[in-house]
Structure 1
Amino acid sequence: MSRIPRIVILGAGYGGIVTAIGLQKELNYNEADVTLVNKHDYHFITTHLHMPAAGTDNPENARIEISKLIDEFKIDFVKSTVVQIRPYDKKIILEDSTLSYDYLVIGLGGEPETFGIPGLKEYALNIRSINSVRLIREHIEYQFARFKQEPHRTDFLTFVVGGAGFTGIEFVGELADRIPELCREFDVDPALVHIYNVEAAPTALPGFDADLVEYAMQVLAKKGVTFKIATAIKEVTVDGVILSDGETIRSSTVVWTGGIRGNRMVEEAGFDTKRGRIVVDSTLRTKDFENVYVVGDCSIVLNEEGKPYPPTAQIATQQGEIAAYNLVAAIRNTPMKDFKFINRGIIASLGKGEAIGVVGTKKLKGFIAAMLKKVVEIRYLYKIGGIPLVIKKGRL
């Protein structure tokens, strides 16, 4: 290839931003033309969004300007929305322009999975972005204000969270911590506030041992969370939720955290997908296009048992590192690396000073687990932005 190869990265989530940073570290100037496309001019820490959603932290603490992370002499940043991916033409259609590429990295992130539940898309809120958590926080505060005007409407003070995975559990933990503050601010009796966590699966927090799950549920129950485990949300209405056991919970606030699917734009592009996600090969490339790499929620990586890994920030970050390495290898015609997920542990926060975790064979809970989660977040900040970013955002 005589001209400089063009690399386009779609999305500045965990996988996309780590890929971009990896390329700018490894590529020489003028070795490749790299463009990063994102609809916002910031990268955000998805694993931190449950806190500003509940109102226990400022949304600004979860966002980082992309310009602070990339070298403008090596990476061109384009703030725009992707409209269409044309892999056969090697083109990306944006809302205001068109990009051509030789190599493409798809890291557009996923979308909430509704599982066909009626009313979920129309009436439920989602923890998916900086803007969405701002809306949730303001919505929650507004319910307390509404209750002061209509004190018979206890549904204003009833909060239903669908899904007891990581996001759901971490959110109810923060929300339970925020409720006493809101009750003092609006002079509301805490006994009138109810938080329900509804989960269709037979257990909360899949992936954790039963004793840690029990500990987590006990901690949250003491904070005022009522669990509905092995109970599905059958329908979401303007008045609340209808559960699979026939119970109706009247609520003006339904927050859905029950899973994600891949990006529909990937399906529309003609890739071989499963629920909007592409099964990639060992080098993170698609089976049909060897110049297209997929990272994060849009990809499916199979473990040794042939089962897909859950889409997590930890996996997306490691994918970004390998995608960057393999892109450099492709340009230089050197051997690529196979992606092998290294599980460095899992930690779920339960609100202030509480968490559970598994690191290797060690089970952690309480304050120690909560501190380790802080360490993990700081480690990621150091990876993408070095010491200056750790100092600026170290309070995450």
Structure 2
Amino acid sequence: MSKPKIVILGAGYGGMMTAVRLEKELKAEDADITLVNKHNYHYQTTWLHEAAAGTIHHDRTRMLIKNVINTKRVKFVQDTVGSIDRENKKVALKNGEIEYDYLIVALGFESNTFGIKGLAENAFAIRSVNTARKIREHIEYKFASYNNDPDAKDSDLTIVVGGAGLSGIEFLGELVDRIPDLCKEYDIDPNKVKIVDVEGMPFVLPPFDRELAKYAQNYLESKGVTFKLSTFIKEATPEGVKVQKKDSEELEEIQAGTVVWTGGVKANHIPADSGFETNRGKIQVTEDLRYPEDDHIFAVGDVAWSSPKDAERPYPPTAQIAIQEAENLAKNIKHILHGEKTEAFVYKPKGTVASLGEKQAIGVVFDHKLTGKPAAAMKKVIDDRYLLMLGGVPLVLKKGKLNLL
């Protein structure tokens, strides 16, 4: 009798942790496990804002998959997923197809422009290692060209950030750390650099405690960031953005050399395109993370609509939730293979920390509010804890942030 085939699509937080935990939960004779990902590396999505600003090298954010998983237990296939054929239990890849008995969909997110005119063409988005690298290189090019290009304009040194959620605020924190170094390196007057954040809500960091969010806003403003709250980007152009204040009909043009959109993400399009019943693009799963219409398919991370019972909104798309879902799912796969009852997924929040650069942060950890350096130290501990869970002490020593404490 052949072993069941378990296929994991995507090597983000949910997919990677599922693969690592299955490797520990199952014996070699229990199942064949295959992980499919378009890159040969896994990357820390929560570190991309640092790579985009240039405060860390982009290679620091990623690790080769073969160095994390046991390739004798988990087969890795580098390929791009095209579609999922539920009827025949096959996944179409760019370079072939793969059959499964149990499928775990962990395909992650895509940037969501909400239909804003010109945004896809004229703005950057922090969504991958390569896009983060492009943002860093673009900003550095603008600074390097300012004193050498006769056509350079002061607005080339203006950076507009769309969105003041977690990603936007963390990127701003890295920018205010990075800009002084760029000015010194390229002999630019810091007063010529402008950083503008445009946010539709009347406050920053909507999910956070208001006191902590105000701390973050005040700190960033003290470093030169201008916030335009209750304001919406209506169009992005090659010269910058056009914005509109809430309850106003007038458009204001902000000329900028760099526009970075952090205003939202959406679930990967492949499940919906493959005929899955979705809610806002997400696969609405049962309490054990299973697709209701197929007992052999599961979903975790940004592509899964996982929520508390009877909640109208899913859990937010965070690494913490994806990791906990992966741990629960690995146990449930083991239960299923052994004919046992599955366990309901119960999210146990451990807190959230938002970095404001290397030495500043805000957050709530185990119901305790933290600001400043203590919060920044806790953010590094959280980052290293994930590495410890994923690859043990060797991975922490190789990729961790302990040396920055």
TM-score bracket for the superposition, by shorter chain length: over 0.9
Structure 2 residue aligned with 1:295:
300
1:255 deviation in Å? 0.5
Indicate the residue corresponding to 1:278 in structure 2: 283
Corresponding residue number in structure 1 for 2:195 = 195
Q: Which runs of 5+ in 1 are unaligned?
A: none
Amino acid at match of 2:263: G
Other-structure match for 1:80? 79
Deviation per residue, 1:31-70 (Å, 9 max, x gap): 1011000011111011111111100111111111111111
Q: Percent identity?
A: 49
Task: Work out the CA distance in 2 between the residues paired with 1:72 and 1:208.
Answer: 40
Rounded Cα–Cα distance in structure 2 between residues aligned with 1:234 and 1:365: 34
CA distance in 2, matches of 1:229, 1:45: 29
Question: Post-superposition shift, 1:229?
Answer: 1.2
Letter in 2 for 1:372: M
2:38 is the counterpart of 1:39 = yes
Letter in 1 for 2:395: L
Query: How far 1:362 sits from its partner (Å)?
Result: 1.3
The separation in 1 between residues aligned to 2:36 and 2:155, in whole angstroms, is 42
Task: Determine the C-alpha separation between the residues in 2 that align with 1:294 and 1:152.
Answer: 49
Q: Does 1:319 align with 2:325?
A: yes
- Matched residue, 1:134: 133
**CA-atom RMSD, angstroms?**
1.2
Aligned-residue offset at 1:304: 4.2
The residue correspondences of 1:93-108 to structure 2 (distance < 5 A) are 93-108=92-107
Which of the numbers 363, 366, 380 marks the counterpart of 1:360?
366
Where does residue 253 of structure 2 map in the other structure? 248
Is contact 1:176–1:223 with CA below 8 Å preserved after alignment?
yes
1:210 Cα offset (Å): 1.3
Give the SS at the match of 1:200: coil
Q: Aligned match of 1:269 in 267, 274, 290?
A: 274
Q: May I ask how many residue pairs the two structures share in their alignment? A: 395
**Contact 1:146–1:156 (Cα < 8 Å) also in 2:** no
Partner of 1:98, secondary structure, is: strand
Cα shift at 1:151? 6.6
CA–CA distance in 2 between the matches of 1:57 and 1:104?
35
CA–CA separation in structure 2 for the residues paired with 1:333 and 1:247: 63
Aligned to 1:350: 356
* Equivalent position SS for 2:234: strand
TM-score if structure 1 supplies the norm length? 0.98
Q: CA deviation at 1:224?
A: 1.0
Match of 1:387 in 2: 393
- For each residue in 1:246-301, what CA deviation from the matched residue of structure 2 results, as whole angstroms up to 9, or x when unmatched? 11101121111111101111110111112321111100011111111101110111
Aligned to 2:70: 71
Secondary structure, aligned partner of 1:241: strand
Residues of 1 paired with 2:310 and 2:102: CA distance?
Answer: 30
Query: Aligned partner of 1:340: which letter?
Result: V
Distance in 2, Cα, partners of 1:289 & 1:55 = 44
Runs of 4+ in 1 over 6 A off after TM superposition: none
Whether contact under 8 Å (1:233, 1:243) holds in the other structure is: yes
How far is the alpha carbon of 1:360 from its aligned partner? 2.9
Counterpart residue type for residue 30 of structure 1: E
CA contact under 8 A between 2:351 and 2:367: conserved in structure 1?
no
Greater shift, 366-375 or 194-203, is seen at 194-203
Q: Name the SS for the 1:247 alignment partner.
A: strand
SS of the equivalent of 1:244 reads strand
Displacement of 1:30: 2.4
Given the two structures, how large is their TM-score scaled by the length of structure 2? 0.95
Letter in 1 for 2:262: T
Bigger mean CA offset, 185-194 vs 200-209? 200-209
Give me the whole-angstrom Cα distance separating, in 2, the residues matched to 1:150 and 1:337. 65
Mapped contact 2:383–2:401 kept (Cα < 8 A): no
Does the aligned pair in 1 maintain the 2:48–2:61 contact within 8 Å? yes
CA distance in 2, matches of 1:100, 1:329: 22
Q: Supply the distance in 2 between the matched residues of 1:326 and 1:152 (Cα, whole angstroms).
A: 59
Counterpart-to-counterpart distance in 1, 2:20 and 2:152: 54
Q: Which residue identity lines up with residue 188 of structure 2 in the other structure?
A: V
Partner of 1:206: 206
Quick one: distance in 1 between partners of 2:30 and 2:223?
A: 56
